[in-house]
Amino acid sequence: MVTRAELTDDLAQDSFVKVLRALPNFDPRGPARLSSWILTVATRTCLDALKAKRPAAEEIPASLAAASNPEDETAQRQIGRRVQAAMARLPEEMRAVLILRAYHDFDYDEIAAALGVELGTVKSRLGRARAALREALGDMP
């Protein structure tokens, strides 16, 4: 069985191979910055891998939880699992937009360029993704 670390390495390598092959086609005068373009290639590579086979969800490491006692650590792990499960249930398009916005701090224009969609599509997907997460996590503090 392939470990998550091995899968990450494989996806990173695949992404860079695709970037190197497609680099001659990148237009620096175009709408995307090189960093956004590379991230788009990497994002699409990862989304393709998710389509092929969803990896097993991993538990959030205790070192990442900001808990000071065992009860808080347990609560943080439970919250993390709920958020992770809710994110996994989102359609790939919504999940990609949410991840780029929430975790990578992309602005809407950068997300649109990275995913090759219109700005309005980014806004509507982000709104629907947030609403779905709120509904899934509604009773959380």
pLDDT in tens, 93-104: 888 898 888 878
pTM value surpassing 0.85: no
Whole-number average pLDDT of the chain: 81
Please give the pLDDT value at position 104: 80
Please give the pLDDT value at position 128: 93
Hey, what are 55's tokens?
Answer: 């990896």
- Give me the residue spans of the domains in the chain: 1-55, 70-141
Q: Which CATH number fits domain 70-141: 3.40.50.720, 1.10.10.10, 3.40.50.2300, 3.30.1300.10?
A: 1.10.10.10
Write the pLDDT tens digit of every residue in 25-59.
888 888 778 888 888 888 888 877 777 765 455 55
